[in-house]
Amino acid sequence: MMHDEQLRKIVDHIFQAHPEGVITCEECDRQLHCLAEKVAAGASLSELWPEVEAHLDCCPNCNEVFQALVSILRAETSGALYAADN
């Protein structure tokens, strides 16, 4: 049985074919760490590299890595990284 959340998921997946063209996971990965540093410092991904942002919208794998990396970098800057294991 499909629930509302599932309906949204399938609709999102169908309509998220990004118009900028396909960026593969490999291409995305090559930029991910540089972009994560900039986003963690306050830059906007959509302004930096919209194609990568479009890829992240469609690719949960790369998106998860990107979000995790940004989160760790921010924690490093704020000092929370060092507080976490105390």
Partner 1 sequence: MADRSNEQWLLDLQSASGSQSLALEDLRQRLQRGVFYYLSRERSDLTHLSTQEINQMAEDLAQDATLRVMENLGSFRGDSRFTTWATKIAVRVAISDLRRARYKDYSLDDLTAEGDTLPAGATNSVTGTPTIGPENETERADVMQKISRAMEEALTERQHKALVAVALQDVSLDTLAEEMGTNRNALYKLLHDARRKLRSHLEAQGLTTQYMLDLFRQD
Q: Per CB under 8 A, does 42 bind partner 1? A: no
HSE toward the beta carbon, residue 13, CA cutoff 13 A: 8
Is 10 an interacting residue with respect to partner 1 (CB under 8 A)? yes
Q: Is 36 among the residues that bind partner 1 (CB under 8 A)? A: yes
Kindly report the CA angle at 55 between 60 and 34, in degrees rounded to 5? 95
Greatest alpha-carbon span in the chain: 46
Name the site residues for partner 1 (rule: CB under 8 A).
Answer: 1-17, 22, 24-26, 29, 32-34, 36-37, 58-61, 64-65, 67-69, 71-73, 75-76, 80-82, 84-85
